Amino acid sequence: MFRKITLAVVAAAFALSTSVGAIAEENKVGFIYVGPIGDHGWSYRHDVGRLAIEKALGDRVKTSFIESVKEGPDAERVIQQLASSGHNLIFTTSFGFMNPTLKVAKRFPKVKFEHATGYKRSDNLSTYSGRFYEGRYVAGVIAAKMTKSNVVGYVGSFPIPEVVRGINAFLLGARSINPKITIKVVWVSTWYDPGKEADAAKALIDQGADIITQHTDSPAPLQVAENRGVYGFGQASDNLHFAPKAQLTAIIDNWDSYYVSRARAMLDGTWKSQDVWGGFKDGMVSMAPFTNMPSDVSKLAAETQAAITSGKLHPFQGPIKDQEGKVRAEAGKVLDDGTLLGMNWYVEGVEGKLPQ
Amino acid sequence: MNGLDQLTPIILTVITASTPLLFAALGELVTEKSGVLNLGVEGMMVIGALAAFAVTTQTGSAVLGMAVGALAGAGLALIFAFLTLTMLANQVATGLALTIFGVGLSALAGTGFVGIALTPLQKLDIPVLSSIPVLGPLLFNQDVLVYLSFAMVFAVYWFLNATRAGLILRAVGVSHASAHAIGLPVKLTRYLATLFGGLMAGLGGAYLSLSYTPMWAENMTAGRGWIALALVVFSTWRPGRLLAGAYLFGFITVLQLHAQGAGFAVPSQVMSMLPYLATILVLVLISRDKIKIMQNAPASLGKPFHSAK
């Protein structure tokens, strides 16, 4: 009995899909987040982008998300689950989802995939990322003006190019103002562990850092900065209410317009595999209001941001030397995107060795 | 700056890193001593963290927050006790389910509290004594939960080794059949021990969300409940060693962060491994006496008990 009904349903569904075509199909967009949407940082901003799709496209699409997916073998299972449950477009929003996404994309050639911050693409797999280093450069400029100890503490997650690039951009920004600035980096080997991130920030302050910045997802390091009376920067979203006296600005990830345009392209049938790396200019990266600083510093920060937006200034403009003193970019030259994407060396001024 | 001045902030950070572990592990130690294996520590901690944070932000009273945090942990423990002690469900499976339940429930119930900032717990300054150089700020200028955690180590030690109730609890943990035969209340003892474990895990969670990182974030315990569980086993169920283990773990965690900041040329991946390696190694080495382990381990750990058996 049950089987007969199932068969009938399948037959009906098949008939419908062939006769009515794409219109009757339900369009679903799926998201996979590495952290909880309640992290108030990275995953939260992706979810804001998902909600923007719902707002802009209304009934034309349904969205769903799975949060706190660990990077690793389990991710493949989760992506596969989304792909096999009728999602037409799937965003996988962390670097560590790269290989699992590629594998699942091969198995589901009709489903479209978008992987954030990675570099492996195929006919149905796009990559996209923000040029967050532009924001880091501006933050570095501000830090150089605000520090007294000339030591910046940087809480890092994992030594991958995305993070290393941010550290380097921050330092180059800082050194463009004050060549005495150095950066101390502490790796916590996690994207999200408020306690450990806080401990790392405390360790850095104890070692003389009076500016704390981070490439991890919770507001804990910023909160430590507030309690210890030093300055800090918000990560991924504006966290001023966590640190009303300490936050100088925040680098804000802004996925809304990209997500809406990609979902629309999927609906219109114009979706193509591509690689997008957007910065200030494209609205993918923006800065929170400049706070807790004198007006000349906020003016300088705004000018720096404007110069990067207009293309007059590139954060990775030569001369750039690495830690060993080797010249990586001659004066007047700019590092190309390939070099930036694979960055696995520190610029001069970062302390310690980069774990390989 | 001399060496001692540098050491003080390190030790202060170590205390904050170790306190939640100590609370949760002490509670689990008592639970396990009665023969109950509750793997739901992580779930009870995270529920405690949320409850404490929610109540403190709503009422403005951190004391009330701590109390509710502890009770929330105990509430979850009560569910566990009912399922495993009354309904005789498998303890391992139920404990795992309790962790998943606690993490999920707190995430759901906590959505309204994400992104709210809280002033950290007040430090209790003991006048005069706190101005002693080096030792003063370490010993006499901590928040109330840190003092409580130390007091609990002694209380648990005293309870287990010097009281009649402690003796009953240990007897129940070693052999519930014999304990039952001589008329000891096996089920009641285990209920109380499990509830105590929940209270302490809840307090450990409260410390996280009120003092360590004063905010609520989903899954903010980040595996500390599991470390607490491991500490209980590696300390061979002895409160003194548990204290040493929790602080050793906290110390190496913080020390490796400092070492990285100071530019030691050791890969950060190895550094992250160190706290686990060192703690296991030290605790295994100091507790390698087989007879002592046999004496301390609760022999009926995890076994279901029914009076008809």
Peptide bond just before A100 cis, omega within 30 deg: no
CA of A221 to nearest chain B CA: how many angstroms apart? 9
Residues A78 and A169 in one domain: no
Residue B130 has pLDDT above 90, yes or no: no
Return d(Cα A142, Cα A299) in angstroms, integer.
Answer: 10
Q: List CB contacts (< 8 A) between B110 and chain A.
A: 38
Higher pLDDT among residues A245 and A341, named by residue: A245
Structural domain boundaries in chain B = 3-296
CATH at A304: 3.40.50.2300
- Per the DSSP assignment, residues forming a β-bridge with A125 are A113, A122
Q: Is A56 helix (H, G, I), strand (E, B) or coil?
A: helix
Residue B210 DSSP one-character state: I
* A5 belongs to a structural domain: no
For range A222-243, the mean pLDDT: 92
Say yes or no: A127 and A143 in one domain. no
> Position of tokens 């792909």?
A83
Domain that holds residue A311: 132-253+284-341
CB contact under 8 A, B254 and A195: no
Reduced to 3 states (helix: H, G, I; strand: E, B; else coil), residue B235 is coil
User: Position of tokens 């955690």?
Assistant: B149
* pLDDT band for position A349 (cuts 50, 70, 90): very high
> Tokens 């003080």 correspond to what residue?
B8
Q: Are residues A100 and A217 in the same domain?
A: no
Mean pLDDT, chain B, integer: 90
How far does A220 lie from chain B, in Å, by closest CA?
6
DSSP symbol at A119: -
Closest CA to A293 of A144, A101, A74: A144
- Give the pLDDT score at A40: 74
**Å between A209 CA and nearest CA of chain B:** 10
Q: Is A144 in the same domain as A98?
A: no
Specify whether A204 is located in the same domain as A337: yes
Cβ atoms of A79 and A90 closer than 8 Å: yes
H or E, element range at A321: strand A320-321
Question: Which of A48, A65, A207 to mutate to probe the B interface, most B CBs <10 Å?
Answer: A207
User: Does residue A218 sit in the same domain as residue A267?
Assistant: no
Question: In the prediction, which pLDDT does B283 show?
Answer: 79
Do the domain assignments include residue A18?
A: no
pLDDT-based confidence at residue A21 (cuts at 50, 70, 90): very low
Residue A10: inside a domain: no
Per mean pLDDT, which range of A154-158, B205-209, B278-282 is the poorest? B278-282
The pLDDT assigned to A16 comes to 43
Q: Are the C-beta atoms of B143 and B16 separated by less than 8 Å? A: no
The answer to whether B172 and B190 are in contact (CB under 8 A) is yes
For A232-241, how does the pLDDT look when each residue is reduced to its tens digit (9 = 90+)? 999 888 889 8
Give me the residue from A36, A40, A199 closest to B107, CB to CB: A36
Helix (H) or strand (E) holding B286: helix B268-286
Residue A22 has pLDDT above 60, yes or no: no
Greater confidence (B5 vs B166) lies with B166
CB of A29 closer than 8 Å to CB of A61:
yes
The pLDDT of residue B4: 61
Query: In this complex, do B263 and A219 lie within 8 Å of one another by their Cβ atoms?
Result: no
Half-sphere exposure of A253 (CA within 13 A, CB side): 24
Look up the pTM and report it: 0.85
Distance from CA of A111 to the nearest CA of B (A): 30
Q: Any idea which of A106-110, A238-242, B68-72, B286-290 has the lowest mean pLDDT?
A: B286-290
| Same domain for A318 and A195 | yes
Q: Which helix (H) or strand (E) holds B206?
A: helix B186-207
- Structure confidence at residue B168 (pLDDT): 97
* Mean pLDDT within A237-249: 92
Residues A210, A265 within the same domain: no
Looking at the DSSP assignment, which residues form a beta bridge with residue A278? A130
pLDDT tens-digit readout, A260-287: 999 999 999 999 999 999 999 999 999 9
Rounded Cα–Cα distance for residues B51 and B131 (Å): 35
Task: Please state at what angle helix B224-234 crosses helix B268-286, rounded to 10 degrees.
Answer: 30
So what's the ipTM on this one? 0.86
Residue A261 maps to a domain: yes
> pLDDT tens, B251-262?
999 988 988 888
Q: Are residues A126 and A168 in the same domain?
A: no
Q: Which residues of A touch B215 (CB under 8 A)?
A: 194, 219-220, 223, 242
Q: Is B114 exposed, middle or buried (0-12, 13-18, 19+ CB in 10 A)?
A: middle
| Whether residue A314 sits in one domain with residue A236 | yes
Q: Is residue A12 part of a domain?
A: no
What pLDDT does residue B261 have?
85
Gap between the terminal Cα atoms of chain A: 61
Beta bridge partners of B142: B124
Mean pLDDT for A295-315 is 96
Gap between the Cα atoms of B268 and B125, Å rounded: 37
On whether residue A313 sits in a domain, the answer given is yes
Question: Burial letters for A190-222: b for 16+ Cβ neighbours within 10 Å, e otherwise?
Answer: bbbbbbbbbbbbbbbbbbebbbbbbbbbbbbbb
Say whether pLDDT at A132 is over 50. Answer: yes
Is there a contact between A218 and B217 if contact means CB atoms under 8 Å apart? Answer: yes
Fold observed for domain B3-296 = ABC transporter involved in vitamin B12 uptake, BtuC (1.10.3470)
Average pLDDT of chain A to the nearest whole number? 90
Shared domain for A183 and A242, answered yes or no, is yes
Residue A168 and residue A108 share a domain: no
Quick one: pLDDT at residue A84? 94
